[in-house]
Amino acid sequence: MLRIDRSLVEAMVAHARADHPDEACGVLPGPDGSDEPARIVTMMNAERSPTFYRFDSGEQLAVWREMDERDEVPVVIYHSHTATEPYPSRTDSSLAAEPDAHYVLIGTADPDTALVCSYRISDGEITAEPITVVGEGAGEPAFSVPAPDSDDHPARAKE
- 94-110 pLDDT, tens digit each: 999 999 999 999 999 99
- Domain 2-158: give its CATH architecture: 3-Layer(aba) Sandwich (3.40)
Instruction: State how far the Cα of 138 lies from the Cα of 140, in Å rounded to an integer.
Output: 7
Give the residue extent of every domain in the chain: 2-158
- The residue type at 111: P
Residue 82, pLDDT > 70, answer: yes
pTM exceeds 0.85 for this model: yes
- Does residue 88 surpass a pLDDT of 90? yes
- pLDDT for the residue numbered 63: 98
Flag whether pLDDT at 157 surpasses 80.
no
- Is pLDDT of 136 > 90? no
> Are the beta carbons of 77 and 103 closer than 8 angstroms?
yes
